[in-house]
Each structure stands twice: as C-alpha cells, then as structure tokens.
Amino acid sequence: MTDGQKTSRRSQAWFGAQGRSGMLYRSWMRNQGLGHEVFDGRPVIGIATSASELAPCNAHLTRVAEAVKRGVWQAGGLPLQFPTMATGETLMRPTAMLYRNLMAMEVEELIRANPLDGVVLLSGCDKTTPAMLMGAASVDLPAVMVTGGPMLNGKYRGQDVGSGTHVWKFEEDLKTGRMTEEECFFAEGCMARSNGHCMTMGTASTMACMAEALGMQLPGSAAWPAVDARRMETAQAAGQRIVRMVEEELRPSRILTREAFENAIRVNAAIGGSTNAIIHLTAIAGRVGVDLRLRDFDDLVRAVPTLVNLMPSGKYLMEDFCYAGGLPAVIAELLRGGLLHGGQITVTGRTVAENTENAECLDSDVITSLDAPFQPAGTGTAVLRGNLCPDGAVIKQSAASPHLLTHRGPARVFDSPEAYHEVADDPELDIDENTVIVIRNAGPKGYPGMPEVSNVPLPAKLLKAGVKDMVRVCDGRMSGTGYGTVVLHVAPEAAVGGPLALVRDGDPVVLDVPNRTLRLDVDDAELTRRREAWRAPVERHTSGYTWLYTQNVEQADQGADFGFLRGCRGHEVPRDSH
Ligand code: FES
Ligand code: MG
C-alpha cells in the first residue's frame, strides 16, 4: 500500500491524525487490546449488528459477526463491531414498522459519525434489512449485507410448519375445536426450533432475497439456514469482500441503480415474495434517488411467473429453497428468460450474470422453471386503482382465493382493527361471506406505523360454517406470511382523508383484480358531500418519537419513509470533535 492510499482513507482522518487529536482517537481504542499497528491505514470496517434478545430472529447475529470479523482480519482490514437498534416483529408494539425509519436514521448516523471506510450490515427480522439498507444508502460508503438466515423448517407431527403462516392455521384450528390448547403450546415450539428469521417466504426471507437481488448481499447468502455452517462461511466471505470493496470504492450508489431495483421487483414476483417488499424497496430507492412508482410493481411483473413454491403461497420452506439452489438458481432461470438486467454490478464486483453462471436448480419442485412455473405470469402482486384508492392499493393474488378476485359486496366498516376484533366472535354478527370487511385507520399516520393487521381472521360464525376466505380492504399491511383476499396499503390512508374514510356500511365495494380496480359504487356527488363533512382525527401524539413519525411519514405508495430522510447525504463530516 502506498502512503498516498493510506492518507486518502476516510478512517485516517481519525486514526492517522497527528498530535493530541490522533492520540485521543487511537489511545482509547487500545484499551480493547488493539496494537498500534492496526491504525496503519488499513480499511476500517464497521460491523453493524442488530443482535438483540428482544428480536429473536436476530439474537444469533453476534456469532455471525464473529465470522465477518475473521474475514475482515484475513483480508487485512480492521473490523469494529457496533450494535444498532433491532426492530423485532413479534414483540414490538404498536408495530415494528413504526421504528424502521428510526433504525434507518440510527444506522446512517452511526456509520457517518465514526471512522469507518466500509460497513457490513447484519440483519434478520423483517424491518431490520430495509432499515440497514436505507441508512447505508444515505451514507454511500461501501457496504455489504449479511442477513442472519432462516430458521430450520418447522416440524409438527410429521408435517412441515411455517413460522407465521401456521399461526393463522393453528388459530383457526383452535377456534373450530380441531386443536386443543395443549397441542397448541406444543406446536409453538415446533414452529421455531432453531435460531434464525421466519422460514416461510415472509418479509424477512423476502427482504434477504431482495438484498441479494439488488446486488447488496453475496450470491446464495439469503437462503443458508441460520444454523448451517455455511451461513458462517458466507459471513466470513463478506468480511473479506468488504475490504476489497473499500479498495475498489464500490459504493451502494454504483450498485443500487434503477436496473437493480427492476431486477429486485422481478425476483420478488418469481419468489412469491411479501407485499411489504413494495414499501421497503420504494423507501430504499428514495434514498438513492431512484424514482420507483407503485405501478412499476405491476408493470414489471406481468411477464414474470412465480417460480418458487414456498409458503405462504406454496408448500415448501426456506430450508428446502436453500437445498434446491437458493436465489442464484432463480436468478439464472430469469436471466435465461431475458427477464433481468444481467449486466448489473454487485458487491462481488462482478455482474448478476457472472455471479450466477454456474447456478443450478437441484429440485424442480421447489424452484420451478419458466417452462413449467409454479404459478403462471400475471398472478403475483397486483396494483389496484380506483375511487377507493386514488394513489393505489396492493393485493397478493397468489395468497388470495381465485373466486374472490372479482367480487362485489356490501361494505362493513370498522374504524380500527380492535373494533372488528371486539365483535368478530359474536354469533349474531351482521356479516355474511359476501360482505367486504373494511378496516381503516391502520395506515402509516393513522395507527401510527402501518401495522400488519389487514388480514383479520374471518368472523368465527363464518369459519364454523366452512367459509375459508372473504374480501378485506385496509390501509394497513399484511404479514408476508399471511394469506387471504386482502386489499392492502390503500392510499391515501383514511387518517389523512383518503376515500377509505368516507365508506359507510352497506356501500357496494367492487373489486376487479383482472382489471386492476377497486371502486366504491357510490356516486361522486355523494362522495363529495361526505368529504366536505369529514373532519381529520385529533392528533393523539404531541411529543416524542411518535409525534416526529406522524408529522413526517409519507404515504404507503411513497415507501412510508420520512420525507426529510429521502436522498443520500454522503459520508462527509466537516468538523472535528476535539
Ligand atoms: Fe422476525 Fe418473522 S418475526 S422474521
Ligand atoms: Mg412480518
């Protein structure tokens, strides 16, 4: 390494400083047993870990970080691990999504404020992956992601059970008396039997695949189970690779191009991924100035069949996906069909096409081919428009019932998910299978935080009568592990005066997914009258983070980021602390 290279390294503005300043920067670091020689201008690599016992999907990341560290040392870098916030899906109230932007802010500021040349991002649970990508993209120092990997397949009484997906099934079984409470306790343990994130193609697995499809994670890395030794190998390889990326100045802005997002959107369709990817990809794109529109998520996927047969849309789980060849096999197949931009650069320094040259599908039942796909093109996520959702809404067709994709039924409106839950088990409930259940005030500002509450369970009396699905319409989200004919992300949301706020019981709602429309069959004059009479709800939050959130969060179709966090602010810090 030449002296010129040493002094140009960002971290040398700290560790290479002369006099008292340099002493302050180095001396305290040496209390960790680091010798003077590690400050010689080698790349300083931050390892951002969202390990937390409160985010069980990320709890093992400290071990993954050790493997990354090994890789960084091997390649001649100096690894420095630091903790970030962790947004665990299962415990955080009112919803982990409320904190995605906070975590993204934290990641961004921590990277920028510290003497780092590059960063490895360790995530797992749903929101932690987009939060880290958003934060890192806004700093634009070389960055590589290592997701923590899925849990092993759930196993209950000889059958594979999927985390998330089977929670709904078990709940229905409990309600209808097919399962006792004791059996249910036992089943809980069967569902989550190893470290890792949800092993269905829920949001965590989807976002891990999105990180890989965008080119921000090493090929094959998304699918290795959390407890597979090869998870640690891929982490170590990422540690080695980030050191080279610093030398090559391979930054997120070179990787996260419009074409990379188009690749990710198509891969999401092919894997039958979560609807939440729409919001997260839009938010990440906003950080790098790529203008993704909701309609891109429909236009770009119409020619893409679902290739991957995983729960919640299919039958297999992430462990099977891994053994079948993982994401590289999917990408190779899409490339064969001319459905991806193969020339996109990735964290390997090589292109998408080069990365997957030798990728192979090892189980064509799990990863199907374009010639005989699991589900035909055009049956993935659809974006709807109409007078009920002027800025769009989303429905995951593969998780819906085909007979409900065109449906006309009377609305039964609930002003909150809680209002519905209060009456859902009432045997006298005035709802039949044709009713459209409308749940509002579950959007970004209204809830606040846009929780995963849209796929409310069906009324108990209808479940008992054998009804399996009904149309539900909501301005909230649905868990990536969920299913049902549920219209999501209705924008603008009710709390800001979107038309959802104007619906009344009995209004005919017309869903026509083949024609991509969601309409309220009420005439315009009447809707105008109702709009004039509408009053914005009183602001419940007047201070604290939740206030900041409700004041700044953008609508679902914009990615639900804070307006003031859009864009890349770079890594410069002009002033010293001493
Ligand atoms: Fe964390 Fe599903 S709850 S990934
Ligand atoms: Mg989730």
Cα–ligand 2 centroid distance for 203 (angstroms): 5
CA angle, 214 then 100 then 569, to 5°: 65
Following DSSP, what letter does each residue of 237-293 receive, concatenated?
HHHHHHHHHHHHT--HHHHS-HHHHHHHHHHHHHHT--THHHHHHHHHHHHTT----
Cα–ligand 2 centroid distance for 500 (angstroms): 24
d(CA 272, CA 480) in angstroms, rounded, equals 10
Cα–ligand 2 centroid distance for 398 (angstroms): 17
Write the DSSP symbol of residue 467: -
Cis peptide before 252 (omega within 30 of 0): no
Asked if residue 125 has its Cβ within 6 Å of ligand 1, the reply is: yes
From the CA atom positions of the chain, what is the Rg in Å? 24
Other beta carbons within 10 angstroms of residue 542's beta carbon come to: 8
Q: Is-contact 313 379, C-beta < 8 A?
A: no
Ligand 1 atom nearest to CA at 164 = 2
Asked if residue 98 has its Cβ within 6 Å of ligand 1, the reply is: no
Neighbours of ion ligand 2 (CB under 5 A): 89, 126, 203, 479
Q: Is-contact 103 458, C-beta < 8 A?
A: no
ipTM value > 0.85 = yes
The residue to which tokens 């920028």 are assigned: 112
Count Cβ atoms within 10 A of the Cβ of residue 88 and give its class: 0-12 exposed, 13-18 middle, 19 or more buried. buried
pLDDT reported for residue 1:
41
Residues 6 or more apart whose Cβ sits within 8 Å of residue 550:
445, 448, 539, 541
Q: Is-contact 117 45, C-beta < 8 A?
A: yes
pLDDT reported for residue 180:
94
Other beta carbons within 10 angstroms of residue 30's beta carbon come to: 12
Report CA-CA distances (Å) from 61 to 102, 215, 222, 415. 20, 21, 14, 40
pLDDT in single tens digits along all 578 residues of the chain: 444 444 589 999 999 999 999 999 999 999 999 999 999 999 999 999 999 999 999 999 999 999 999 999 999 999 999 999 999 999 999 999 999 999 999 999 999 999 999 999 999 999 999 999 999 999 999 999 999 999 999 999 999 999 988 888 888 888 889 999 999 999 999 999 999 999 999 999 999 999 999 999 999 999 999 999 999 999 999 999 999 999 999 999 999 999 999 999 999 999 999 999 999 999 999 999 999 999 999 999 999 999 999 998 899 999 999 999 999 999 999 999 999 999 999 999 999 999 999 999 999 999 999 999 999 998 889 999 999 999 999 999 988 999 999 999 999 999 999 999 999 999 999 999 999 999 999 999 999 999 999 999 999 999 989 999 999 999 999 988 788 999 999 999 999 999 999 999 999 999 999 999 999 999 999 999 999 999 998 989 999 999 999 999 999 999 999 999 999 999 999 898 88
d(CA 176, CA 16) in angstroms, rounded, equals 68
Residue of 90, 195, 276, 477 to test ligand 1 pocket, by largest number of atoms within 8 Å of CB: 90
Report CA-CA distances (Å) from 167 to 161, 185, 405. 9, 11, 24
pLDDT reported for residue 6:
47
The number of angstroms, rounded, from the C-alpha of 71 to the middle of its chain's C-alpha atoms is 27
Residue nearest to atom 3 of ligand 1 (CA): 89
Number of the ligand closest to the Cα of 163? 1
Q: Is-contact 40 6, C-beta < 8 A?
A: yes
d(CA 490, CA 158) in angstroms, rounded, equals 40
Asked if residue 401 has its Cβ within 6 Å of ligand 1, the reply is: no
Cα–ligand 1 centroid distance for 482 (angstroms): 12
Ligand 1 atom nearest to CA at 126 = 4
Asked if residue 452 has its Cβ within 6 Å of ligand 1, the reply is: no
d(CA 352, CA 343) in angstroms, rounded, equals 6
Write the DSSP symbol of residue 31: G
Tell me if the pTM is above 0.90. Answer: yes
In the structure encoding, which two tokens stand for residue 184, read together? 């249910």
Count Cβ atoms within 10 A of the Cβ of residue 576 and give its class: 0-12 exposed, 13-18 middle, 19 or more buried. exposed
The helix, strand and coil proportions of the chain, stated in percent and rounded to the nearest 5, come to 40, 15, 45
Residue nearest to atom 2 of ligand 1 (CA): 198
The domains located in the chain, with CATH, are: 42-152+194-355 (3.40.50.2300), 158-193 (no CATH), 380-541 (3.50.30.80)
Please choose, from the candidates 419, 421, 464, 481, the residue with its C-alpha nearest in 3D space to the C-alpha of residue 175. 464
pLDDT reported for residue 3:
44
